[in-house]
Amino acid sequence: MNSNFTPVSKSISAFIFDLDGIIVETTHYHYLSWKELAKSFGYDFQEEDNENLKGANRTTSLNILLDLAGISVSDQEKKRLRHQKNEIYQDLIKHMTPADTLPGVIRFIRDSKELGLRTALASSSENAIRTIERLKLTHLFDRMLDANTVAKGKPDPQIYLQIAADLGVGPFSAIVFEDAANGIEAAKKAGMHVVGMGSADQVKDADLIIKSFEDLDPKDIIDHFQRSAL
């Protein structure tokens, strides 16, 4: 059992979802964006490099990329590079539709709301809320937070503590769905339980690991963590 384990209340009242790799697979678009940006300063950015960026906000991701490339630039140049990366990314995702969401996730969130659960989005991406709006999925969430309104990125727990406060629930009553090690660490630090979905090495510290939302019943998730609290 993870050392950060905190018993969950029998009254689970909220599900909190990350965006990338949970609701929609934008990781590849981010990878292509960083790869194109890296070309501008002569670095060959690879998919294994991209693993280091998962769950990190744009500022942290850029710093990691510059470290990998062995490049030091001014704060002003970093600002320009962040903007350039976002422009590339926005161009890549402008044709996304609800059909691009991961299998079963929309039905799962709807079923969760029908059970009376509060639902929220908490993402380190500065484009998260904009992406949800583009996908016409805002009605699925009671609250949404992204890197535009939270100063500290994951693995800092700030975003999860803030979203719980916005929802009006205690951290112990919320279950987080994450696909990245940074996000799992953030949620655990916030005192929440975590369902991980993704590669085994990325989600190994989650309390429960799932392969997808297809055929997954929210009641089964709740039952699992209620049993864990006994």
What residue ranges do the domains of the chain occupy?
14-25+97-229, 27-93
Task: Tell me if residue 67 is catalytic.
Answer: no
Task: Provide the pLDDT for residue 126.
Answer: 84
Task: Provide the pLDDT for residue 109.
Answer: 98
Place of tokens 């976002």: 86
Task: Provide the pLDDT for residue 8.
Answer: 40
Among residues 20, 146, 179, 207, the one annotated as catalytic is: 20
Task: Provide the pLDDT for residue 52.
Answer: 85
Quick check: 142 and 167 in contact, CB under 8 A?
yes
The CATH-assigned architecture of domain 14-25+97-229 is 3-Layer(aba) Sandwich (3.40)
Task: Provide the pLDDT for residue 153.
Answer: 86
Task: Tell me if residue 20 is catalytic.
Answer: yes
Task: Provide the pLDDT for residue 119.
Answer: 98
Q: Which residues contact 117 (CB under 8 A, 6 or more apart)?
A: 12, 13, 14, 15, 218
pLDDT below 50 — which residues of the chain?
Answer: 1-9
Task: Provide the pLDDT for residue 162.
Answer: 97
**d(Cα 30, Cα 12) in Å, to the nearest integer?**
33
Q: Which residues contact 175 (CB under 8 A, 6 or more apart)?
A: 8, 12, 14, 15, 16, 192, 193, 194, 195, 221, 222, 225
Domains 14-25+97-229 and 27-93 share a fold: no
Mean of all residue pLDDT scores within the chain:
90
CATH T-level fold of 27-93? DNA polymerase; domain 1 (1.10.150)
Among residues 18, 146, 156, 207, the one annotated as catalytic is: 18
